């Protein structure tokens, strides 16, 4: 990876809470991990690490075990999260299907329930609450810390409400109020692309040589398209009264006077490059004939894998449109690393090449250092929602 793309803040000049947050993120992503490894990855003194972790070891949030470190013969003291009595619930409200799941600070997903998303918000939230109650019953004797909810639209600045989800046609929905338990459990509502970006950031921290999130743009392509932004080690949601709207690139116009969109405009990017748009491309933009069903994205991918020409053409076309939009996003944001998330990832082998070719045609193609990679599909589902809950908890430590 190009080193110039890495964001390396000067930790020494930052507040303890900010420093602590990055440190805790690293421990969570790479646990178990030694103090010297944390110090090396974050470019800070070992004494700063000790100063930050000691109170958390004392209070029982972190534990220290003397074990053989990976690839080393001598035994080292490894830090990890100790608390498995606390758990988190995640809810991903998808356009077609939703998931409710639970996780611990050690990272394993302990439960997951999937269900078809009802079209009315009240019904969807009532069913969500029933499933949350079910998970609470299953986890009796443990402490539910925070509920994270990812939504396919804009969340308000307080991250309690959904402002607008065009693909569900839901507006001003008080999500936190509907799913909290006796108003005693904190609920955090987050845009699903931002949630997926948080999930991918943890994987990047785990796999990178340093302990920091890189700057990156996450493009989530499923029923619609959304963009999550990680800038300067933190997710970016916008500012002022339009906080929560950053990343709504799915509705940037890519074809003037093009296909009608759920948002009311025409020619939006998501009508051409979302996984869902593959069906109409495949059918040649005509409605399905009598007795013919709209092909699902995964069906088109399966057919492409056995050599079906129309399916391959469809995925290549999606790759082309996706690349055109990504070049626009890179130009606008000035971050050159892009991660693709969502159902679209299943067709990556057919999409990657035309996508890169489209970026190369743009002005971005004239410079080096950009990259587009496929992320983990789970990040755009339950993984992202759980990440929202745990991230919020880390901020409170």
Give contact residues for Zn ion (rule: CB under 5 A): 251, 261, 263, 265, 268
Looking at beta carbons only, is 128 or 221 nearer to Zn ion? Answer: 221
CA distance 361 to 366: 8
Task: Tell me the DSSP string of 198-247.
Answer: HHHHHHHHHHSSSSSPPPEEEEEESSSEEEEEEETTEEE---GGGTT-TT
- Comparing CB distances to Zn ion, the nearer of 202 and 251 is 251
Residue 375 Cβ vs Zn ion, minimum distance, rounded to whole Å: 23
| Phi, psi (rounded to 5 degrees) for 76 | -130, 160
Of 106, 90, 97, 109, the residue nearest 185 (C-alpha): 90
Q: Which is nearer to Zn ion, 104 or 274 (CB)?
A: 274
Residue 285: CB minimum distance to Zn ion, A: 17
Minimum distance from residue 257 beta carbon to Zn ion (Å): 13
Dihedral, 118, 119, 123, 128 alpha carbons, nearest 10: 50
- With respect to Zn ion, which residue has the nearer C-beta, 262 or 355? 262
Please say whether the beta carbons of 201 and 213 come within 8 A: yes
Which of 117/271 has CB closer to Zn ion?
271
Closest distance of CB 123 from Zn ion, Å: 25
CA distances from 198 to 64, 194, 289, 296 (A): 26, 6, 41, 28
Q: In the complex, what is the shortest distance from the CB of residue 193 to Zn ion, in angstroms, rounded to a whole number?
A: 15
Across-strand partners of 227?
Answer: 219
Partners of 62 in the beta sheet?
81
Q: Which is nearer to Zn ion, 263 or 394 (CB)?
A: 263
| Rounded-to-integer distance, Cα 3 and Cα 109, Å | 33
Helix (H/G/I), strand (E/B), else coil: 156: coil
Q: How far apart are CA 114 and CA 124, in angstroms?
A: 12
Q: Kindly tell me which of 76 and 277 has the beta carbon lying closer to Zn ion.
A: 277
Distance of alpha carbon 218 from alpha carbon 327, whole angstroms: 13
Q: Tell me the closest approach of the beta carbon of residue 268 to Zn ion, in angstroms.
A: 3
User: Smallest gap, in angstroms, from Cβ of residue 152 to Zn ion?
Assistant: 13
Candidates 203, 195, 252, 198; CA nearest to 224 is 252
Q: What is the dihedral of CA 256, 260, 265, 266, to 10 degrees?
A: 0
Tell me how far, at minimum, the Cβ of 161 lies from Zn ion, in Å.
Answer: 21
Comparing CB distances to Zn ion, the nearer of 19 and 251 is 251
């Amino acid at each position: 990876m190009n080193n110039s793309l890495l964001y390396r803040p000067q930790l020494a000049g930052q507040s303890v809470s900010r420093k602590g947050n990055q440190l805790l993120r690293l421990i969570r992503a790479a646990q178990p991990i030694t103090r010297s490894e944390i110090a090396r990855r974050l470019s800070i003194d070992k004494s700063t690490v000790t100063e930050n972790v000691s109170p958390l070891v004392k209070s029982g949030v972190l534990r220290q075990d003397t074990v053989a470190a990976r690839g080393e013969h001598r035994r080292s003291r490894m830090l990890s999260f100790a608390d498995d009595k606390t758990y988190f619930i995640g809810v991903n409200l998808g356009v077609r299907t939703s998931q409710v799941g639970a996780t611990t600070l050690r990272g394993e997903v302990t439960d997951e329930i999937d269900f078809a998303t009802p079209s009315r918000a009240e019904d969807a939230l009532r069913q969500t609450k029933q499933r949350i109650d079910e998970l609470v019953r299953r986890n009796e004797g443990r402490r539910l810390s925070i509920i994270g909810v990812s939504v396919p639209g804009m969340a308000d600045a307080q991250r309690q409400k959904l402002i607008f989800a065009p693909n569900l046609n839901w507006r001003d929905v008080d999500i936190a109020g509907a799913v909290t338990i006796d108003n005693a459990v904190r609920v955090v509502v987050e845009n699903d692309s931002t949630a997926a970006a948080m999930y991918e950031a943890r994987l990047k921290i785990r796999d990178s040589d340093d302990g920091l999130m890189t700057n990156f743009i996450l493009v989530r392509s499923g029923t619609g398209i959304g963009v999550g932004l990680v800038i300067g080690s933190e997710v970016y949601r916008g500012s002022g009264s339009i906080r929560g709207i950053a990343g709504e690139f799915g509705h940037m116009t890519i074809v003037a006077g093009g296909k009608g969109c759920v948002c009311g405009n025409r020619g939006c990017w998501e009508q051409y490059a979302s996984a869902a748009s593959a069906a109409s491309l495949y059918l040649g933009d005509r409605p399905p004939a009598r007795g013919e069903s709209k092909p699902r994205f995964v069906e088109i991918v399966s057919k492409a894998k056995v050599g079906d020409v129309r399916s391959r053409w469809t995925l290549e076309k999606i790759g082309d449109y996706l690349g055109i939009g990504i070049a626009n996003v890179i130009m606008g944001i000035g971050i050159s690393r892009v991660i693709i998330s969502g159902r679209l990832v299943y067709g990556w082998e057919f999409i990657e090449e035309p996508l890169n070719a489209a970026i190369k045609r743009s002005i971005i193609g004239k410079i080096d250092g950009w990259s587009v990679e496929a992320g983990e599909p789970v990040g755009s589902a339950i993984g992202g929602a759980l990440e929202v809950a745990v991230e919020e908890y880390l901020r409170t430590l």
